[in-house]
Structure 1
């Protein structure tokens, strides 16, 4: 094993908070929690540390440049109509979902609460090869020319039909077309049960369904076990 490679990654939460005001009245608050390697003692952990520090700073800039003008407009509208003054809230959190065999996987998810009370969820999945310190592409978990995308879409379609028959979820009428159009191979992460892939909020279902997520168990449809994929990556 290379000197900088890791079998697993130890992390601790790093949190940053900001508040923006208009005329000394809070109109927008933001809270960011991202993983921080503990300790960041080698090349791989330092690279991951820089990556999530950049994500933290980028999200706060997004809040200031995109959400703050919306928050100020909502504040002034409420002021003009003598309505309760709103304070919009944005938060970014993370969840580690897999951490063994030289692979570290997680997702970060933001939640933006508007003045109306409605919330927008946005998720990003990351899977890292701790041997080299680089993200792992979804295709790396399947043999070449295995038709992995077709298998994933078929699994999602089967699960959607099962949920609708059971009456536990509701999807858009044209969800089949949306599955193909909105599928993004970057939207995945590993779990103990299998490979989880997801679709953006509103992409294939109403807001009540949140972020639709589907899981392909290890060993099914040519999906390699994470440890097997890590070994294959080392030989490339």
Structure 2
């Protein structure tokens, strides 16, 4: 098992004494008894956080400052936001799985959340793939599709309209082999906002029992 510490990069940036952009980037740091692999994994997340911070400070701040300068921009100015949070979903033996949600608000009615995920083997320092938990054959992909279709159908019974009408085709067209994480006894397949459902549905998740 690994021990996790949360690191944070945060700041609020001003333009002409007006707060226009704020960010808070949380990212994990690991210690492990499995091997020395935690050093490279920690470096990966530290670099990722620094790149995200650089994007916020250079790109999002510049956009926010330009919008704040615009004479017809609303007052008080709607502060642009960049928030990154992570969730550990599995931590047992030498395996850790997690996802990270990056929320960006840059004006308009609402922001956008993009999810990424990783599953690590701390014995080797390697990132595990979907095929390490679930075989991707024509038969298994068909079974996976049918399982997800069934879960959508059940959810629509309780909440009509929470998926697009052509969700069956979209489940295939927007399927991303990297969009997964694991929980005890379970593999979770997720889709991004708007892939198969309206914004209000969030990021749809599908639960597939697996043994590992």
TM-score normalised to the size of structure 2? 0.90
| Aligned-residue offset at 1:190 | 0.5
Q: How many residues align?
A: 212
C-alpha contact (below 8 Å) 2:34/2:123 kept by paired residues: no
Of 10, 24, 33, 1:17 maps to: 10
Q: 1:21 to 1:147 in 2, by over 3 A?
A: farther
Of 40, 59, 66, 2:52 maps to: 59
Which whole-Å CA distance do the structure 2 matches of 1:81 and 1:109 have between them?
A: 28
Unpaired runs of 5+ residues, structure 2, are none
Unpaired runs of 5+ residues, structure 1, are 1-7, 219-224, 227-236
Q: Deviations over 1:63-121 (max 9, x none)?
A: 234322332233123x4456322211110010100011321100011112233351211
The alignment status of 1:100 with 2:68, answered yes or no, reads: no
Which whole-Å CA distance do the structure 1 matches of 2:33 and 2:92 have between them?
A: 18
Which runs of structure 2 are paired with 1:1-236 in the superposition (5 Å)? 8-38=1-31, 43-77=36-70, 79-80=71-72, 83-143=75-135, 145=137, 147-167=139-159, 170-218=162-210, 225-226=211-212
C-alpha contact (below 8 Å) 2:102/2:113 kept by paired residues: yes
Task: Report SS of the residue matched to 2:192.
Answer: coil
| Aligned-residue offset at 1:35 | 0.5
Q: Normalized per residue, which structure has more strand?
A: 2
| Aligned-residue offset at 1:215 | 0.8
Alpha-carbon RMSD across the aligned residues, in angstroms, is 2.2
| Aligned-residue offset at 1:166 | 2.0
C-alpha contact (below 8 Å) 1:40/1:46 kept by paired residues: no
Task: Report SS of the residue matched to 1:59.
Answer: helix
Which whole-Å CA distance do the structure 2 matches of 1:145 and 1:9 have between them?
A: 33
117-126 vs 132-141, greater mean Cα deviation:
117-126
